[in-house]
Amino acid sequence: MQDTGKHDAVVVFGAFDRHNLGDLLFPHVAAKLLACDDVIFAGLAERDMRVHGGHAVEALAQLAASRGNDRVHIVHPGGEILTCSDWEAAVMLLEQEQAQAIVARLDKHSGERRTWARSLTGLDTLTPYMASRAMFPCASSVTYQAVGGVDLERLRPDMRAEVLSKLAQADDVSVRDIHTQHALAAAGIHARLVPDPAVMVADLFGANIRGCKQRSGVADLQRAFPDGYIAVQFSADFGDDRTLGVLASELDRVSNERGLGIVFFRAGAAPWHDDLACYERIAARMNATRTHLFRSLDIWDICALIAYAEGYAGSSLHGRIVAMAFGLPRLNIVHPARVNETTKQSAFAATWEPACVPGSVSIEALSEAMLQALTVDRALLQRTATRLAARYREGFAQPPQT
């Protein structure tokens, strides 16, 4: 793929039209590794995400109308795109208040949801973050790089059929976890196994990230918490009173036993991601006074916050992977409703983590797992980071199987 764009433009297409840490990092990694000066960043909506450290993004429907007959390479650079529906994708493009209103109006009306989503994105598809060859009939190649689809087997039949049809027409497919790889193999789709692109953040951008310490306010946090801090994040669905109460108690224990600050941050501000109000509520429930709410949504500030932490705990897969890239202790928490299911977080950990590193744990097990994670040999964690970055480079460099 590093030679993909030597002669033709490259369209890097994904969910970098909304605020989410991983999605905004993916195009940076792809652009850095591609040997191409003509790179176009596309999403479902035209957005300028540079205010958050992302890119200026073109809308795929308009891009197909203007360049659909060009010899371009289509690159899907990562993300859980195989199972993102048209409804979910469209709602996440809205502001919070707009999203709440549209969900209240259409959530139980599937036909109207499809019509509304199509009107917003300009695409008639059940899987909008998978570009079809029909939109770019002269495309030189269509590739999927380290994508995810843990819930593939749970999709309704028509959406699953569309996913498999698009993948079958691709020139190369790689996935980021064994669970997705096995599900695709059972459906007759060969997919290589490549770690998530975010494993490259320290390798490619480490110096710049560490240079954000003063500007981002991380230096102030280091002074406020001289013994260090844990970077903590969880999505809005953890925001019921019982769950927040358990998390507060668990984080109190980590703070008290290790003298660490607890710094809450948002890994995503799009609808169905993270909510500032949840962090304010949990901080009010905690006995420990060593807490702080990190407000920046700039992805490089967020990476700096994690890079200088003693460890990461949260529901975000990419919070975990950024911590992994910097060789830090990490764990994911799983929502009580999914504690017995395979999630993208647990699947990724099972695929790539050493056995001694906690994967996904219940909220009741957070403190025990975090205290254990903090004892893991840092040299082992750094070797893991180095190994996965090398594995990603190797997987990215492999040419499409045309």
Assess whether 208 and 190 both reside in one domain: no
**Residue 22: per-residue pLDDT:** 96
Collapsed DSSP state (helix, strand, coil) of residue 172:
strand
Please indicate, yes or no, whether residues 217 and 294 belong to a single structural domain of this protein.
yes
Query: Of 194, 215, 236, which closes a domain?
Result: 194
Residue 366 lies in a domain: yes
How far is residue 128 from each of residues 123, 167, 238, measured CA to CA in Å? 7, 13, 27
Q: What is the mean pLDDT of the chain?
A: 94
Q: What are the distances in angstroms from CA 72 to CA 29, 110, 195?
A: 19, 34, 25
- Average of pLDDT values for 279-300? 94
If asked whether residues 82 and 22 sit together in one domain, one would say yes
Within a domain: residue 138?
Answer: yes
Per residue in 183-206, pLDDT tens? 999 999 999 999 999 999 999 999
Which domain range does residue 255 map to? 203-389
Query: Quick one: tokens of 21?
Result: 């840490």
Q: Which residue has the higher pLDDT, 271 or 359?
A: 359
Same domain for 149 and 219, yes or no, is no
- Per-residue model confidence (pLDDT) at position 288: 80
Q: Are both 189 and 82 inside the same structural domain?
A: yes
For residues 120 and 220, state if they share a domain. Answer: no
Could you read off the pLDDT of 75-119 as tens digits, one per residue?
999 999 999 999 999 999 988 888 889 989 998 888 899 999 999
* Count of Cβ atoms closer than 10 Å to residue 355 Cβ: 6
Q: What does the pLDDT average to over 379-387?
A: 98
Same domain, 354 and 218: yes
pLDDT at residue 14 is higher than 80:
yes
- Is residue 212 located within the same domain as residue 165? no
Once rounded to an integer, what is the mean pLDDT over residues 5-31?
91
Q: Write the single-letter amino acid at 298.
A: D
Residue 56 domain flag:
yes
Task: Tell me the percentage of the chain whose pLDDT exceeds 90.
Answer: 88
Q: What is the widest separation between alpha-carbon atoms in the chain? A: 62
pLDDT of residue 5: 47
Is residue 144 within 8 Å of residue 172, measured between CB atoms?
A: yes
CA distance 141 to 151: 26
Q: Does residue 395 form part of some domain? A: no
Same domain, 121 and 260: no
Indicate whether 161 and 262 sit together in one domain.
no
Closest CA to 59 of 114, 129, 7, 142: 129
Express each pLDDT in 169-180 by its tens digit: 999 999 999 999
Total domain count, the chain:
2
Which stretch of 108-117, 241-250, 344-353 has the lowest confidence by average pLDDT?
Answer: 108-117
**What are the distances in angstroms from CA 25 to CA 144, 212, 271, 319, 333?**
16, 16, 18, 11, 22
User: Residue 305 falls within a domain, yes or no?
Assistant: yes
Q: Is residue 84 part of a domain?
A: yes
Instruction: Please tell me whether residues 189 and 241 are part of one structural domain.
Output: no
User: Quick one: three-class SS letters along 117-140?
Assistant: HHHHHCCCCCCCCCCCCCCCCCCC
Rounded CA separation 24/64 (Å): 22
Q: Which two tokens stand for residue 276?
A: 């500032």
What pLDDT was estimated at residue 402?
41
Three-class secondary structure of residue 254 per DSSP: helix
pLDDT of residue 390: 97
The reply to whether 182 and 242 lie within a common domain is: no
Please provide residue 175's backbone torsions phi and psi, each rounded to the nearest 5 degrees: -125, 160
